[in-house]
A = this chain, B = another copy of it.
Amino acid sequence: MLTADRVVSGTDVLQLLARCRQGDRVATSRLLSLVSRGSQSDRALVSRELAAGEVPSAITLGITGPPGVGKSTLTSALIAELRGRDKRVGVIAVDPSSPVTGGAVLGDRIRMAAHGADPGVFVRSLSSDGHLGGLVRSASLAARVMGACGYDVVIIETVGVGQSEVDIAQIAETVMLVLAPGAGDSIQAQKAGVLEIADIYVVNKADLDGARATVADLREMLLLNRPSDGWRPSILQTVAGTGQGVADLVTALFSHHEACVSDGELAVRRHRRSLYETRSVIDAVLAEQLAGVDVGEAEDPYAAADASLRMLGRRLLDEGVGAVLG
């Protein structure tokens, strides 16, 4: 992997961005390395230049669902379909459960299937460094970077349906939940989770027995849970391996995006993502700070806490998001 040299100024970031937009993959890789492995001030610098500049932003699609339903294959099929419509596609493959390898494997799988040589496709893996807040923060900024680099659609794919995947899905503007036939039980089990936040439901492996029953289960669940106005979630069937149903899926994605633009929901979701990213930056700074706080030897825990909190306060006041240790 490419090791990023340090950027030292906003000008460096702007130069990198300009090169990215001309299709310079080395520059893109370097910029994304700054996001995922750089210092907090590197990230803050990248974020500032994105916010200040007139940069394009991508349609972001979050894909989640239980392991084994074929999310990676479906992602590859979506890439192929989007490329056929002349869209440039960025992929962020996120594995919160893996410190390094899992995420990389996931990314590699997609990369191979999607013809790594295609200049219109860029795949980046993000794995957990043990701090979920850091992952949400990185994924959100990476998606903005890919948008600024000129990718039309950014797919954020997660490996499962745990709370962390739900959190990550919520930084996307359109959320796709992938299930496989016979997922009735897992639908029940997940009813308080990601099921309710998806905009598009996909029953993949629709050539297997039980696809219709799963669709019916989903339809019933949506009738029970959904408000009567606004976007009515789609339920689609695909066979990712053959591409069956994938064109309809891409059409549903664009339909949802256009519905969001016209009813103002897109602005709401982008604002929500911004708040979410802000919160995760705050959490990450505080977590790093707290790990380094020496709570001392005082007899009185409240006095010790008081001293530590004032020390922390001084540091935050002086340095803000730059208040990261060592």
Contact = CB atoms under 8 A, between A and B. Distances in A.
A213 interface: no
Contacts of A43: 302
Interface string A272-289: 001101110111011000
Interface of A: 43-44, 47-48, 50-52, 140-141, 271, 274-275, 277-279, 281-283, 285-286, 290, 293, 295-310, 312-318, 320-323
Tell me the number of copies of this protein. Answer: 2
A323 B301 contact: no
Contact of A306 (B51, B302, B303, B320): B320
B321 A309 contact: yes
Contacts of A51: 298-300, 303
A308 B295 contact: no
Nearest to A49: B300
Contacts of A278: 295-296, 298, 301-302, 304-305, 308
B302 A48 contact: yes
A141 B301 CA distance: 9
A312 B314 CA distance: 10
Nearest to A283: B290
Q: Is the interface of A mostly helix, strand, loop or mixed?
A: helix
24 contacts: A44-B302, A48-B300, A48-B303, A50-B300, A52-B300, A274-B298, A274-B299, A277-B301, A278-B298, A278-B305, A279-B305, A281-B301, A282-B290, A282-B295, A282-B305, A282-B308, A286-B286, A286-B309, A306-B321, A309-B321, A310-B316, A313-B316, A313-B323, A317-B317
